[in-house]
């Protein structure tokens, strides 16, 4: 019912009461003033509307403030290490002996974002453990942070402290600047794409999965984080194993996981699952060695245009050695040798071409790699291919391969 309908009903009721009063010949002061009734009704209606508007504005302001606070306090969610929340109300490092004892517990090496000083995670974790033993005041904790950092880390930390940042915000900013571990999204992607290779073992997979799953679980609170780590780690370990044959390591682990869950009447933890797999690790490692993906990366190959010698793009093994491909014992990285090869070398005979310039004539053609007489090894042998079927350049030999 709307306010206008309610007002109409009240006005009709007041009118009928006045009529009954006239018929009963009662005193005039018993009659209801209809004008005053309408005015009071309108004032009450405006008062309720204003109060409702005030409540809506306050609710909108509260919601907007919560949204903004959540955006600005994201570091409370994505925090690898949180600072202490309990501090001593009074200074505790009041003497030189106490300060000397404190330095024995806090990190001995100043953090400067180098390999020698360790990671920022290790540095702040040791800081929290030392504070747990000593329970210093908040100002002393900040002073120790400044004293045990140097270089850019000290400069940035000093700026954060001077700008009035909270310890939680300071920890988060230090992680943004100096932490090299994967983010939550990247750790989750690496975990989903993790596959065992031939050099992997069941133990190395467990260690890698534990590292990644702890990074990807940072956004959850403590109870949910534990459940997420156990379930996600177990499934990631199963999915990382090879699945070839009826008795593959993946099928064996799936069966062990289902059996253990049925016996426990709940989802097993990752520790319980790995304990069950421990007696089977020899057979699991053997299956990984035989059926997992290759541990080496694919070698980058290249093709040569006709009558042109293109240098191969550098690969890792070529960057680490001084070996460079040679043709007819001439190093093409030397411009002098390149000129000799292109007509100035006494043992070099330029092939003659008929019709198409890119097709050498059939005269004096011989391949020292395969023994064919329709091409030369120096122009690329069509039988020298990699696993992907691409023709690769091979140094010509003195006699052809017996297998070809």
pLDDT, residue 114, reads 80
Least confident range from 55-64, 142-151, 333-342: namely: 333-342
Q: Find tokens 């890119």 and name the residue.
A: 358
pLDDT at 317: 45
Query: Which pair of tokens denotes residue 61?
Result: 């302001």
Among 256-270, 273-287, 354-368, whose mean pLDDT is lowest?
Answer: 354-368
pLDDT score at 262:
92
The pLDDT confidence band at residue 221, using thresholds 50, 70 and 90, is confident
Token pair of 26 as six digits: 């009662």
Selected residue with higher pLDDT from 341 and 293: 293
Kindly list the distances between the CA atom of residue 399 and the CA atoms of 184, 367, 368, 395, 404, in Å, as whole numbers in the listed order: 57, 9, 5, 12, 11
Contacting residues for 262 by C-beta, under 8 A, at least 6 apart: none
Would you state the pLDDT for residue 158? 92
Q: What is the pLDDT of residue 141?
A: 92
The residue assigned the tokens 């059996």 is 259
For the entire predicted model, the pTM comes to 0.50
Residue 194 above 80 pLDDT? Answer: yes
Residue 353 pLDDT greater than 60, yes or no = no
Residue 400 has a pLDDT of: 56
Domain ranges of the chain: 3-72, 96-178, 184-291
- Give φ, ψ of 258 to 5 degrees: -65, -40
At residue 8 the predicted structure's pLDDT band, cuts being 50, 70 and 90, is confident
Average pLDDT (18-26) is 75
Quote the CA–CA distance of 367 and 376 in Å, as a whole number: 4
- pLDDT > 60? residue 326: no
Confidence of residue 310 (pLDDT cuts 50, 70, 90): very low
Write down how long the chain is: 404
Cα–Cα separations (whole angstroms), residue 305 to 25, 223, 308, 323, 339 = 121, 62, 5, 23, 19
Query: Per the structure block, which two tokens stand in for 146?
Result: 């400044």
Does the pLDDT value for residue 89 go beyond 80? yes
């Amino acid at each position: 019912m709307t306010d206008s309908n309610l007002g109409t009903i009240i006005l009709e009721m007041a009118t009928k009461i006045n009529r009954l009063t006239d018929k009963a010949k009662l005193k005039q002061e018993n009659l209801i003033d209809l004008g005053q009734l309408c005015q009071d009704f309108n004032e009450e209606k405006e008062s309720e509307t204003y109060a409702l508007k005030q409540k809506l504005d306050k609710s909108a302001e509260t919601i907007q403030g919560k949204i903004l606070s959540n955006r600005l306090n994201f570091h409370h969610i994505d925090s690898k290490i949180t600072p202490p929340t309990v501090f001593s109300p009074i200074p505790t490092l009041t003497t030189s002996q106490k300060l000397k004892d404190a330095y024995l517990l806090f990190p001995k090496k100043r953090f400067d974002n180098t390999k020698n000083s360790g990671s920022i995670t290790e540095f702040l974790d040791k800081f929290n453990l030392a504070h747990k033993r000593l329970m210093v005041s908040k100002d002393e904790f900040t002073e120790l942070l400044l004293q045990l950092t140097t270089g850019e880390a000290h400069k940035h930390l000093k700026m954060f402290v001077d700008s009035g940042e909270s310890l939680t915000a300071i920890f988060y900013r230090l992680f943004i600047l100096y932490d090299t571990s994967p983010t939550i999204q990247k750790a989750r992607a690496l975990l989903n794409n993790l596959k065992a290779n031939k050099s992997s073992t069941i133990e190395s997979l467990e260690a890698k999965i534990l590292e990644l799953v702890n990074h990807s679980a940072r956004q959850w609170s403590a109870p949910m984080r534990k459940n997420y780590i156990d379930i996600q780690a177990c499934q990631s370990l199963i999915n990382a194993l090879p699945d070839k044959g009826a008795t593959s390591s993946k099928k064996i682990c799936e069966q062990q996981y289902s059996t253990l869950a049925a016996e426990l009447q709940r989802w097993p933890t990752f520790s319980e699952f790995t304990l069950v797999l421990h007696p089977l690790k020899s057979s699991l490692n053997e299956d990984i060695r035989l059926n997992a993906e290759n541990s080496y990366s694919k070698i980058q190959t290249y093709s040569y245009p006709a009558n042109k010698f293109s240098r191969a793009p550098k690969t890792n093994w070529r960057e680490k050695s001084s070996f460079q491909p040679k043709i007819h014992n001439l190093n093409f990285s030397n411009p002098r040798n390149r000129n000799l090869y292109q007509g100035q070398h006494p043992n070099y005979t330029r092939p003659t071409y008929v019709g198409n310039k890119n097709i050498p004539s059939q005269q004096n053609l011989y391949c020292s790699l395969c023994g064919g007489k329709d091409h030369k090894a120096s122009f690329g042998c069509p039988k020298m291919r990699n696993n992907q079927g691409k023709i690769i350049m091979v140094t010509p030999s003195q006699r052809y391969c017996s297998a070809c």
